[in-house]
Structure 1
Amino acid sequence: MTPPATVSLTKAAPLVSLDKHGVTSGLIRVNLNWTSPQAAAARAAGEARGLIGRIRASLRGASARSVDLDLGCMIRCTDGGKTVVQALGNAFGSVHDFPYVALDADDRTGAAEAGENLVINLDHQAEFQKLLLFVYIYEGSGDFRGLDAVVTLTSDRGDRFRVELDDCPPQAHACAIALIKRQKGELVISREVRWFTPADGPGVQDVISRAYRLGMKWTPGRK
């Protein structure tokens, strides 16, 4: 049996076929992990030595910005239906019922070791036309620079597909991470890492869905 693969999707090699890796059923787990400046400062304060060191680390922690990243998935079905799975609006989805995609938790700080996790049920892949993974800053100042955000897709048997959210431009508050779709008869993941800024429009989900021609309509929501 071929051992599970670890593949980094990069600008030079942005596409991978799940079929060629034997990942055609079961669950794909999508993990978003990042380090917020506030969480990093808190850790530094805990590791600081001496009174002066602890005071300095505490001051840095007090001034560090907090940020809440939200992972989501826009889904376009083969029958023309469209929906989204995200924390906003409590649209957490379901693994075993439509839309066969589910978000398991909402990491509000970036401090949780497990990050945010989303699960896709490939047993129902025939119902998916496109799955667009995206992330945006729900709350907090600044942009993605310095957050070291990484998204990893892991199959049931351990195949890992990794996307680093790098080359973030100033003011980028959202990113289309990866697109999962059928191409030439195979299910593929393509690295997108397409950044969006406030200049692109006020409603980030609407801007992203229009950029990918998903034809979705949006209403205001909270979490």
Structure 2
Amino acid sequence: MASGAVVLTKASPVVSLDKHGVTSGLIRVNLNWTSPQAAARREAGEARGLFQRVRASLRAGTAKDVDLDLGCMIRFSDGGKTVVQALGNSFGAVGHFPYVALDADDRTGARAAGENLVINLDHQAEFSKLLLFVYIYGGGGDFRGLDAVVTLASDRGDRFEVRLDDCPPHAHACAIALIKRRKGELVVGREVRWFTPQDGPGIQDTISRAYRLGMTWTPGTK
């Protein structure tokens, strides 16, 4: 848990950015997780004794990397919509449309900074909804054991945290949080809504339909 962060939980899932004075500037959305392979390598490096080192090295050799992708579906006040994500190289931009950008694609979970989205709140009047989501692009499996956490941080140091816990078996995507205007205030609402292969083959389309964002999707690569 980040020190001093406001943690969004099931019991307290919504926070007002306005009440925290976060009404302009940039918000950085950070996704961090520990891949099974990175954890196994760290364990192997810290192991003491020959037997422990051999056993940890074997685990590191068989553990698989997991590629999590952070994204943001955006609906604008004028009815327009778009997505910022690594898939399709739709990295966005901060200084101009869509005023949201992804800084990198962490394919292994080993990057210390994780993946980061930046949202330009100087243009918040143009946003209707921003849905933060994450999905497993490669590596198979699900989110269990990844210790994934998303932190939203303002320019002035305010921090809001969402932990991706209670993952059901086979969950390969999660709607993390929804940023929208409610009763005149910009709020962040914890979602942590999981999706499995049973929900449909096109995960972005499945999430978009679940939140009635009305987006049209085409296959993409990265």
Which interval holds the TM-score relative to the shorter structure? over 0.9
- The alignment partner of 1:113 has SS state of coil
Residue in 2 that maps onto 1:83: 82
Q: Which amino acid aligns with 1:10?
A: T
Residue in 1 that maps onto 2:162: 163
- The alignment partner of 1:40 has SS state of helix
Q: Percent identity?
A: 82
How far apart, CA to CA, are the structure 1 residues paired with 2:195 and 2:99?
A: 27
Residue in 1 that maps onto 2:181: 182
The answer as to whether partners of 1:27 and 1:122 remain within 8 angstroms in 2 is: yes
How far apart, CA to CA, are the structure 1 residues paired with 2:142 and 2:4?
A: 32
How far apart, CA to CA, are the structure 1 residues paired with 2:65 and 2:155?
A: 33
Task: Specify every segment of 5 or more residues in structure 2 that has no aligned partner in the other structure, as ranges.
Answer: none
How far apart, CA to CA, are the structure 1 residues paired with 2:203 and 2:13?
A: 24
Residue in 2 that maps onto 1:197: 196
How far apart, CA to CA, are the structure 2 residues paired with 1:175 and 1:13?
A: 19
- The alignment partner of 1:123 has SS state of helix
Q: Report deviation, 1:47.
A: 1.2
- Listed one character per residue, the Cα deviations across residues 173-194 of structure 1 (whole Å, up to 9, x for unaligned) are 0000000000000000000000
Q: Report deviation, 1:133.
A: 0.1
How far apart, CA to CA, are the structure 2 residues paired with 1:204 and 1:23?
A: 31
Query: RMSD value over aligned CA atoms?
Result: 1.0
How far apart, CA to CA, are the structure 1 residues paired with 2:170 and 2:52?
A: 32
Name which of structure 1's ranges 207-216 and 55-64 shifts more when overlaid on structure 2: 55-64
Q: Which amino acid aligns with 1:82?
A: K
The answer as to whether partners of 1:5 and 1:158 remain within 8 angstroms in 2 is: no
Q: Report deviation, 1:5.
A: 6.0
Q: How many residues were matched structurally?
A: 220
Q: Which amino acid aligns with 1:111?
A: A
Residue in 2 that maps onto 1:36: 35
- The alignment partner of 1:207 has SS state of helix
- Listed one character per residue, the Cα deviations across residues 72-96 of structure 1 (whole Å, up to 9, x for unaligned) are 0000000111000000000000000
- The alignment partner of 1:143 has SS state of coil
Residue in 2 that maps onto 1:127: 126
Name which of structure 1's ranges 49-58 and 93-102 shifts more when overlaid on structure 2: 49-58
Residue in 2 that maps onto 1:216: 215
1:76-155 alignment runs, 5 A limit:
76-155=75-154
How far apart, CA to CA, are the structure 1 residues paired with 2:28 and 2:141?
A: 28
